[in-house]
């Protein structure tokens, strides 16, 4: 039933898009399919593109929301370079909603402070992190000091620290409310746990989300354009709406790295179509 609904919503969205002409096509589609769930872009999707090219690509997707990966704002940048880079994104009308994934596995104040300073200077209200259980108490201290949220990104069966959201939830459940999870639905599915249950269990600890689709929920290499796989996207958005989720849903498009924009455009059209359908 979900698959039939998914295809129907995508056909509707794609049809609406194709019927629009000129430079206003994406803007009109975005307006038609606006939603209380905010769709953004994880800039890892655009890792083969320069900063200027990435900015242009996000503008083509007609979303202002961007989670910046280091490819587009280097850790080694000077404070002035970070400020200038931030201005480039903001001048283009983009809103920096986070940064990462940032690996915070070194349990020292100097290392962790370096990345919080990076986030502060870059205008990031949240960082998506890949820490260890050992580093989390120290990270929590810096979350409080900088007032920057930190969301653990689970990385599936290959991740020896946080393969599934439940593994991260055990560590953060008693921490400051600004410490939580960034659920990657693809990696979550590959661990064998239920994606919808994982989202529900995370509750208010769900601070961010990376969305992707897979043709096989057990195969990392089966990623595809959103709507072409078996990820329960409709049910995911239903659950988020039920929870009154306030965070971002960022498309993390890891395939077609040399030319990701066509697939990302299709993925956004599908997601917007689904959200429009859920709004009745």
- Residue 145's pLDDT is 98
Write out pLDDT tens, residues 130-143.
999 999 999 999 99
How far is CA 258 from its chain centroid?
A: 20
> Quick one: which of 108, 171, 163, 115 has its CA closest to 143?
115
Write out pLDDT tens, residues 154-208.
999 999 999 999 999 999 999 999 999 999 999 999 999 999 999 999 999 999 9
Task: Mark the ranges of the chain whose per-residue pLDDT is less than 70.
Answer: 1-35
- Its pTM stands at 0.87
Q: How far apart are CA 145 and CA 202, in angstroms?
A: 24
**For the chain, which domains are there?**
2-278 (3.20.20.150)
The pair of three-digit structure tokens given for residue 272, joined into one six-digit string: 């917007």
- Residue 184's pLDDT is 98
- Residue 25's pLDDT is 39
- Residue 280's pLDDT is 76
Report the residue count for the chain: 280
């Amino acid at each position: 039933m979900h698959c039939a609904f998914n295809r129907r919503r995508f056909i509707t969205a794609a049809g609406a898009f194709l019927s629009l002409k000129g430079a206003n096509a994406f803007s009109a589609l975005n307006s038609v399919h606006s939603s209380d769930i905010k769709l953004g872009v994880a800039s890892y999707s655009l890792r083969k593109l320069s900063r200027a090219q990435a900015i242009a690509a996000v503008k083509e997707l007609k979303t202002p929301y961007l989670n910046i990966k280091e490819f587009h704002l280097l850790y080694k940048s000077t404070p002035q370079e970070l400020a200038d880079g931030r201005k480039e994104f903001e001048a283009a009308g983009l809103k920096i909603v986070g940064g990462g994934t940032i690996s915070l596995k070194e349990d020292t104040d100097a290392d962790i402070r370096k990345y919080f300073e990076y986030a502060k200077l870059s205008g990031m209200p949240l960082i998506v992190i890949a820490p260890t259980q050992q580093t989390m108490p120290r990270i929590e201290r810096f979350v409080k000091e900088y007032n920057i949220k930190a969301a653990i990104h689970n990385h599936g069966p290959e991740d020896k620290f946080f393969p599934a959201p439940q593994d991260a939830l055990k560590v953060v459940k008693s921490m400051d409310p600004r410490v939580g999870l960034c659920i990657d639905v693809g990696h979550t599915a590959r661990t064998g746990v239920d994606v919808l249950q994982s989202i529900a269990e995370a509750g208010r600890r769900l601070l961010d989300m990376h969305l992707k689709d897979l043709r096989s929920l057990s195969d990392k290499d089966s990623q595809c354009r959103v709507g072409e796989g078996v990820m329960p996207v409709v049910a995911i958005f239903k659950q988020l709406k039920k929870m009154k989720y306030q965070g971002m849903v960022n498309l993390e498009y890891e395939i077609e790295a040399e030319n990701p924009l066509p697939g990302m455009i299709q993925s956004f059209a599908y997601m917007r179509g689904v959200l429009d359908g859920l709004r009745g």
